[in-house]
Amino acid sequence: MNKPMTAAALALAFGAAMTVAAMPAAAQDKMSEKEKCFGVALKGKNDCKAGAGTSCAGTSKIDNQGNSWSFVPKGTCEKTASKTSPTGFGQANEFMEKKV
Amino acid sequence: MTLHATAVPFKDGASTLFPGGLPARGGVGLKPEHFREIIESKPDIGFFEVHAENYMVDGGPFHHYLGRIRADYPLSIHGVGLSIGGESALDRQHLDRLAALIARYRPQSFSEHLAWSSHGDLFLNDLLPAPYNARTLDLVCGHIDQTQEHLRCRMLLENPATYVEFAASTMAETDFMAEVLRRTGCGLLLDVNNVYVSCINRGRDPNAWLDACFASIPLSSIAEIHLAGFAQDYDSSGASLLIDSHGSPVARAVWELYRRAIGRTGPLATLLERDNDIPPFQALLAEVSMAEKIMYADAPRALSGEVCA
Amino acid sequence: MSGQQAFVDALLDFGPANQACPSGLATWNHSDPARRFAVYRNNVMISLIDALADGFPVTQELVGEAFFRGMARQFAIAHPPRSRILAYYGRDFPSFIETFLPAASLPYLADVARLEMLRVLAYHAADRETLTRDEIGAALADDSELTRRCLVLHPSVAVLQSNFAVVSLWGAHQGLGDIAAVDPTAPQTALVVRIGLDVNVVGIDAATGRFIGRLIQGATLADAAIYASTAEPRATEFDLVASLGVLLRWKTICEFSAFSEFSAPGTSER
């Protein structure tokens, strides 16, 4: 690849690539691709509604969090290998919000 | 002083809007959750309304679906981010984006809120209140004049849902709105849920609000009605504090107020807004049917949707 | 100070007391106006957190709703929107996550968020026709300038080069494989592209990622190929045919264009 590339060589590569691209997905394992198409179901984020409740009503969407941090990640991350945690969960307890 | 009737800017023909106005039927706020179902089932519904800012993106599914739906239905473009009641100057770039959207979709109606949502370069993403006085009046009228000239169409202004009042207010809300309409020639988008929410939150009688509205605002300038559900909360003294949450069916009291309003206006384009806890599309259609039943059973005037023509 | 400035200052006071209230407010029953004013503050914060939750669903699943909403709240306080178009709110969220100490135990989280933001951008990217197989064949025929051509790729196309297994981590939340089997520390490169209405995430090798990244920046085919095969660190060998195959298979090519104003792009791809 370090030699100057010619137009003919590039056209040839394109030709080969078109053959590869036309093959059924199963035949392309050597490309080690993982792919999947999913429609993103995004919502429209601009609206004229109000979020439910004030700072004291009883819904889960209420913004009543104080600024002392009390959460640890509790989601699907718990299923991943823990060796990826160089700093450990202990970090979370030491966090204090920086003044904005 | 020009009479109101002649002050209406950009009548059909000169306007960038699609002529004829919205039909005197029920409509629904268009949500991406319902795109496919609407295209597949082609429901019998009067019109759809979209929030302008959601379609200020370059391309992709939102434009794809809105284009297809617009081909089959009348459309109302409802802005939520222009900040007409703001002390800051209107954002010309935003006006340009609105103009482009109107040029692309040729909606039958364009509307915005009597509220503000931007301050300097901050966007606060809520419809914030302003005091009703001469200073705000000048500000709002100037911004509406600028908007109508820039977009080259007559816009509708929606009465807001508010949670606080200002000591600096010197005018009743209905008087304020009537004066805005008189000065600018814009129309009224009468949000009946907002009337109810704001009146309860200010300790006023919603029926009296409507009576005052009809006494000071010409029926011909009311071009659309909004209906929605609210959430119940309480203030520090335990009194009702209603939240304009668009997250539940229309309340019985709001239907009653709607009945009263439609009795005066006659059949009029009526939008069912639902932006939280969005139910299956069929549930919204049931509310649309309810609105159409009320407008045609109770209204004295027959089929007169072309109020803005 | 203007009335609205005071309103904004109180609105954005998310301090622990949560009781800031501008002067000049009245209530009909002489109840505390701060309580009523809090409705607005609550609306602002919830709507921004909801907007982030909508755009970053896998990031939220990884850390759980409570942690995510808390983190989103801190982000919204530090980075309130400057645009009236919320579709793109959260562009800075991945960088924020990277420096957010409570998430430090999940070093891959920021790159998963980057991938999700690229998907949002691809979703809303401009519509443009891509070349058919026949059109590409015609464009290739007898083009003596081919090495000096640039490829105009679909506006949705983006590449994310990560030190973490972003494609597998994201895929595990779409029913593609078991997250417990994923080694998060395996570097992966993602191609994001919208075909029609669907946004695709494609795992590609690092050298192909460099090649496509360079093309996006406006490099000629020859320059992009040389860059992909020589840039350090050389994690994988560059395979030109395979790389072109990715571009063709994912229908990314809109135009073969003449080289213009390619000013030695840096390594801005990630």
pLDDT at A16 over 90: yes
- What pLDDT was estimated at residue C233? 75
Fold of the B4-298 domain: TIM Barrel (3.20.20)
Q: Chain C window 38-97: which residues touch B at a Cβ cutoff of 8 Å? A: 39-40, 43-44, 47-48, 51, 80-87
Subunit contact B276:A53, Cβ cutoff 8 A: no
Minimum mean pLDDT among A58-67, B296-305, C193-202: which range? A58-67
The count of CB pairs under 8 A between chains B and C is 137
Nearest CA in chain A to B125: A46
- Smallest CA–CA distance, residue B245 to chain C, in Å, is 10
Alpha carbon of residue B145 to chain centroid: 18
- Smallest CA–CA distance, residue C3 to chain A, in Å, is 22
pLDDT at A63 over 70: no
Q: How many CB atoms lie within 10 A of CB B298?
A: 14
A57 confidence band (pLDDT: 50, 70, 90):
very low
Residue C50 corresponds to which tokens in the numbers above? 């909801």
B34 confidence band (pLDDT: 50, 70, 90):
very high
A25 confidence band (pLDDT: 50, 70, 90):
low
A24 confidence band (pLDDT: 50, 70, 90):
low
Which residue reads 């939240």 in tokens?
Answer: B243
The count of CB pairs under 8 A between chains A and C is 236
- What pLDDT was estimated at residue B309? 34
Q: Where are the domains of chain C?
A: 1-106, 126-270
pLDDT at A87 over 60: no
* Average of per-residue pLDDT values in chain A: 63
Q: What is the ipTM of this complex?
A: 0.93
Nearest CA in chain C to A70: C67
User: Stretch C43-71: mean pLDDT, rounded?
Assistant: 95
Spatial separation of the C-alpha atoms in residues B26 and C93, rounded to whole Å: 40
Residue C64: name the closest of A77, A63, A74 by CA: A74
User: Stretch C121-140: mean pLDDT, rounded?
Assistant: 94
Three-state secondary-structure class, residue C9: helix
Subunit contact B57:C43, Cβ cutoff 8 A: no
* Each residue's pLDDT tens digit, B110-157: 999 999 999 999 999 999 999 999 999 999 999 999 999 999 999 999
Subunit contact A47:B80, Cβ cutoff 8 A: yes
| Percent share of chain C, pLDDT over 90 | 82
* Average of per-residue pLDDT values in chain B: 93
Q: Chain A window 5-64: which residues touch C at a Cβ cutoff of 8 Å? A: 5-7, 10-11, 13-18, 20-22, 28, 31-40, 42-47, 50-56, 61-64
Half-sphere exposure of A92 (CA within 13 A, CB side): 17
- What pLDDT was estimated at residue B276? 87
Minimum mean pLDDT among A81-90, B76-85, B217-226, C219-228: which range? A81-90
Q: Judge whether C7 and C22 are in contact, CB under 8 Å.
A: yes
Please report how the helices B206-216 and B192-201 are oriented relative to each other, as an axis angle in degrees rounded to 10: 120
Subunit contact A79:C180, Cβ cutoff 8 A: yes
- What pLDDT was estimated at residue A91? 39
Subunit contact B231:A54, Cβ cutoff 8 A: no
C145 confidence band (pLDDT: 50, 70, 90):
confident
C15 confidence band (pLDDT: 50, 70, 90):
confident
- What pLDDT was estimated at residue A33? 46
Closest in A37, A55, A80 to C182, CB measured: A80
Closest in C38, C61, C119 to A55, CB measured: C38
C85 confidence band (pLDDT: 50, 70, 90):
very high
- Smallest CA–CA distance, residue B231 to chain A, in Å, is 7
Contacts of B45 (CB under 8 A, 6+ apart): B25, B26, B27, B28, B73, B285, B288
**Containing H/E element for C168?**
helix C166-172
- What pLDDT was estimated at residue B12? 73
* Each residue's pLDDT tens digit, B155-204: 999 999 999 999 999 999 999 999 999 999 999 999 999 999 999 999 99
Q: Judge whether B118 and B128 are in contact, CB under 8 Å.
A: no
User: Stretch C255-262: mean pLDDT, rounded?
Assistant: 78
Residue B218 corresponds to which tokens in the numbers above? 């010409």
- What pLDDT was estimated at residue C267? 41
pLDDT at A67 over 60: no
